[in-house]
Amino acid sequence: MVRSVRISLATKCQLLFGAAVILILSAALGVVWHRMQLLVDEGQQEIARQLASAWVDDKIQLGAFLQPVERIEPPTELGEGMTLSLIDKEDFDLAVVHDPTLDSVIEIFQMRPERQDDFRRKRDLHGQAYYRYVRAIRKSDMAHIQGGVAAGFKPTLEAPGFADPLEKILLIQLHAQLPARQLMLNRVYLIAGGLLACLLAIGTFWFITTKLILSPLRVLRETAEQVGRGDLNIRAEVTTGDEFQQLADVFNDMLTTLKKNTDQLQGINKSLDLKLGELAETNVALYEANKIKGEFLANVSHELRTPLNSIVGFAEVLEETLIDRTGPVDEKRKRYIANIILSSRRLLDLINDLLDLAKIEAGRIEINPSPMSVADTLEGLLNLLRPQASKRDIELVLRVTPNIPIVQTDASKYQQIVFNLLANAIKFTPERGRVTLAAAVMNHPNSPADEPMLRVSIQDTGPGIPPEDQQRVFDKFTQLDPSVTKTHGGTGLGLTISKELADLLQGQIEIESEPGHGATFILWTPMAINTDTGNAPLMPSHRP
């Protein structure tokens, strides 16, 4: 797992600036350091050069140049550790054995007569630094020294190396301890100065970052944290008079707007809460009213059915007594009685439907599953409706796939649904049409594959139902074509009740229809009602 290391802005600034200060000071002091070494080197070179010139002049005056001096005691004011040797060209090889780097110096002197001397810093066997100065003494110098110039000696420019050959070298070694000590002291001062400058620079920057940059930032951060904890009354107090103050002002303005909006939202929330409470109360009241309405309907329908049944019964008796009687008065009576019977029956149908619906809505309907033979039930229903169909010459067809197992359902509710759908199909099919009742066991697209369902379809050759009305027909009192109702009757409650019953049987009703090509109502129900889930539908309801 990658963990991100969090470094505060203050630490970041201080680290970066510290590194930058150290780098810049190191570079600046490095130059001084180097320059100091060069100055000491140049001073030592000058000393050696002057010493060599003095020595050579001295020899000229003494006229004893040709007597080689192996070692000369240094002048006391120059300190100890200074040696001077004059090496004749005969001894060059010997000198090279002692100091191999002399070889290249001698070679350069021999090749280039304009080169007078060579100076370099070296280290002895003990690691001590010393300076070696080598002065070339050529034939012209010798001639000059010995009065050679007067004798007419002149170096040839065409072949200078050979024209003015190297005769001797003067070797001066300076074990310059005093300058080395001074150099060391200077370096110590330099380092101390550098460290002090570093500390001062870092301290200054620390002060600047902490006081000028980070403290307003800290105020802003703390304010933002307080806001994050929900305190919208806090404000950032920054009075630096610079961009930080501008930032704080903008931040404070933002907080003011936020506070205003939050207050508004809280107000709206409060009124919403109130409305919600009112709505809940209205809902309870509605529920109560609905329940009372259901109970009232159930009671009233019951009270209405009894007298209506007597009216129908007595009207039928009256009708029978008039069967054999003819004459204009009796014909009139027969017509009136037929009207009473028809109207009473329609009223009774309406009341029955209302009673059923009221019971369902009041939750007073109980489901009693029992074994049911699909083929027998459907055939019985067809037989019941056959007289009605044959009156209008409508063909009734039954198609049941063989071996449909016995299903566990509430048979009377199931029959009521199919009866309603069949009655509708016959009612809306024109004369000489056909109604097909079919049954099969198959999977519904929305149900689990291992749970096949009973599919019963009622297909007619009537006007059909346009797609936009296929949901609406299940609403209470919905009738698409009221003219049909006039001739054939109907309450607009049949499909509503059928749908509610199908829900209770844990099934559903679907419609397949194209206007002008008949309609097919399909009733899907489980092979056995699941009593564990109560009466909850197993399938999604088709009603929005």
**Pick 130 or 428: Cβ nearer ligand ADP:** 428
Q: How far apart are CA 263 and CA 267, in angstroms?
A: 6
Contact of 125 with 205, CB cutoff 8 Å: no
Q: What is the dihedral of CA 212, 217, 222, 224, to 10 degrees?
A: 150
Q: How far apart are CA 264 and CA 339, in angstroms?
A: 68
- Tokens for 19, please give them: 């590194």
Give residues 330-359 in contact with ligand ADP (rule: CB under 6 A): none
Give residues 26-45 in contact with ligand ADP (rule: CB under 6 A): none
Residue 492 in contact with ligand ADP, rule: CB under 6 A: yes
CB of 393: closest distance to ligand ADP in angstroms? Answer: 17
For the chain, how many helices (H) and strands (E)? 13, 11
Would you call 334 helix, strand, or coil by DSSP?
helix
Residue 460 in contact with ligand ADP, rule: CB under 6 A: yes
Residue 507 in contact with ligand ADP, rule: CB under 6 A: no
CB of 436: closest distance to ligand ADP in angstroms? Answer: 12
Residue 506 in contact with ligand ADP, rule: CB under 6 A: no
**Pick 91 or 512: Cβ nearer ligand ADP:** 512
Residue 511 in contact with ligand ADP, rule: CB under 6 A: no
Residue 408 in contact with ligand ADP, rule: CB under 6 A: no
CB of 266: closest distance to ligand ADP in angstroms? Answer: 50
Residue 297 in contact with ligand ADP, rule: CB under 6 A: no
CB of 434: closest distance to ligand ADP in angstroms? Answer: 12
Residue 433 in contact with ligand ADP, rule: CB under 6 A: no
What angle (nearest 5°) sits at the alpha carbon of residue 153, between those of residues 150 and 159? Answer: 160
With contacts defined by CB under 6 A, how many residues of the chain interact with ligand ADP?
A: 21
Would you call 86 helix, strand, or coil by DSSP?
strand
User: Half-sphere exposure (CA, 13 Å, Cβ side) for 80?
Assistant: 0
**Pick 128 or 471: Cβ nearer ligand ADP:** 471
Among 315, 422, 465, 523, binds ligand ADP (CB under 6 A): 465
**Pick 425 or 501: Cβ nearer ligand ADP:** 425
Q: How far apart are CA 308 and CA 296, in angstroms?
A: 18
CB of 354: closest distance to ligand ADP in angstroms? Answer: 12
Residue 426 in contact with ligand ADP, rule: CB under 6 A: no
Phi, psi of 43, rounded to the nearest 5 degrees: -60, -45
**Mask 470-489, x = binds ligand ADP (CB under 6 A)?**
---x----xxxx---x----
CB of 477: closest distance to ligand ADP in angstroms? Answer: 8
Among 113, 216, 433, 490, binds ligand ADP (CB under 6 A): 490
Give residues 266-295 in contact with ligand ADP (rule: CB under 6 A): none
Task: Using alpha carbons, list the distances in angstroms from residue 461 to 98, 466, 487.
Answer: 132, 14, 18
- Residue 127 zone, left/alpha/beta (φ > 0; ψ -120 to 50; rest): left
Long-range contact pairs involving 100-104 (C-beta distance under 8 Å, separation at least 24): 102/134, 102/169, 102/171
Among 109, 414, 428, 524, binds ligand ADP (CB under 6 A): 428
Task: Using alpha carbons, list the distances in angstroms from residue 17 to 14, 57, 268, 404.
Answer: 5, 59, 53, 90
**Pick 337 or 358: Cβ nearer ligand ADP:** 358
Residue 425 in contact with ligand ADP, rule: CB under 6 A: yes
β-pairing verdict for 453-459 and 82-88 = unpaired
**Pick 253 or 481: Cβ nearer ligand ADP:** 481
- Tokens for 322, please give them: 């008039």
Q: How far apart are CA 439 and CA 305, in angstroms?
A: 35
Residue ranges of E strands in 99-196: 117-123, 129-138, 166-174
**Pick 173 or 498: Cβ nearer ligand ADP:** 498
**Pick 455 or 499: Cβ nearer ligand ADP:** 499
Would you call 331 helix, strand, or coil by DSSP?
helix
Q: Select from 315-323, 410-418, 423-431, 444-452 the region that touches ligand ADP (CB under 6 A).
A: 423-431
CB of 260: closest distance to ligand ADP in angstroms? Answer: 56
Q: Select from 49-57, 201-209, 301-309, 490-498 the region that touches ligand ADP (CB under 6 A).
A: 490-498
CB of 472: closest distance to ligand ADP in angstroms? Answer: 8
Would you call 51 helix, strand, or coil by DSSP?
helix
Q: How far apart are CA 436 and CA 405, in angstroms?
A: 21
Among 227, 341, 519, 538, binds ligand ADP (CB under 6 A): 519
Residues engaged in binding ligand ADP (CB under 6 A): 424-425, 428, 460, 462-463, 465, 473, 478-481, 485, 490-496, 519
